[in-house]
Amino acid sequence: MRELGGLGSVGGFQGEYRLADATPLGSWRFGLFAGLEPEFYEGGFAEDVRKGGVYAALDGARGRRHVLGWVTIQNSDLTERSVVVFNNYLPLARTFNMYQGLEYDTQGPGDLGDSDLSYFFINLRYARSRSSTCREPTTAADRSTPARSPATSSTAGRSLPRRSRACSSSPAACG
């Protein structure tokens, strides 16, 4: 669940409803999810650990996003976490953007202690000019493993596909 930050993995279901018409603020989405905690190394699911929650998200121009959600993690009858999550991404200008994440425990971990701010993060990024950042074009092939390995291709006499490296030859090509 990328909307809710450090929730961890959930093996279950997620439903989301997006309003048909955008408002002057942006597009609204509302979602809920529930499931079990996967066991990656052993396979299957953690015994008696359940996760669930709800969220509202507002998506705006140039990638702007605001998310408010609530997450609960139950282990048998014990509430491991009950957290309100508030995340923001603000592209304030072409050269400046900000990401902020906040988690507020509505009760202490493991039903012990009081509610408290448990996490706050802010990241500010400034680039002197748009052309000072050079990025390589990304395609689906750049992020996946080819069906045949280079060794298989060369022994079968097939040439390997060329990948574009627009930024490596000329920074001006990055635009």
Instruction: Indicate the DSSP class of residue 130.
Output: G
Q: Are residues 30 and 62 in the same domain?
A: yes
pLDDT of residue 115: 86
Strands (E), 92-132: 96-105, 116-126
| CB neighbour list of residue 35: distance below 8 Å, 6 or more residues apart | 10, 11, 12, 13, 50, 51, 52
Stretch (H or E) spanning 73: strand 65-75
Instruction: Give the predicted TM-score (pTM) of the model.
Output: 0.67
pLDDT of residue 141: 35
The ranges of the chain with pLDDT < 50 are 134-175
Q: Domain span at residue 160?
A: 140-174
Q: Are residues 160 and 99 in the same domain?
A: no
For the chain, how far is it from start to end, CA to CA, in angstroms? 33
Which of 132, 150, 166 delimits the end of a domain? Answer: 132
Stretch (H or E) spanning 166: helix 166-169
Instruction: Return the structure tokens found at 56.
Output: 């509202």
pLDDT of residue 41: 87
Q: Are residues 104 and 145 in the same domain?
A: no
Q: Are residues 162 and 79 in the same domain?
A: no
Residue with tokens 């074009």: 137
Q: Name the nearest CA neighbour of 118 among 1, 5, 12.
A: 5
Q: Are residues 110 and 148 in the same domain?
A: no
Question: Which ranges in 72-149 belong to alpha helices (H)?
Answer: 140-143
Q: Are residues 124 and 152 in the same domain?
A: no
User: What's the rounded Cα separation, in Å, for the pair 37 and 119?
Assistant: 22
Q: Name the nearest CA neighbour of 87 among 129, 116, 57.
A: 57
Q: Are residues 125 and 148 in the same domain?
A: no
pLDDT of residue 77: 87
Q: Are residues 32 and 111 in the same domain?
A: yes
Q: Are residues 98 and 165 in the same domain?
A: no
Number of domains forming the structure of the chain = 2
pLDDT of residue 131: 56
Q: Are residues 125 and 157 in the same domain?
A: no
pLDDT of residue 130: 57
For 69, phi and psi rounded to 5 degrees? -150, 170
Q: Are residues 145 and 123 in the same domain?
A: no
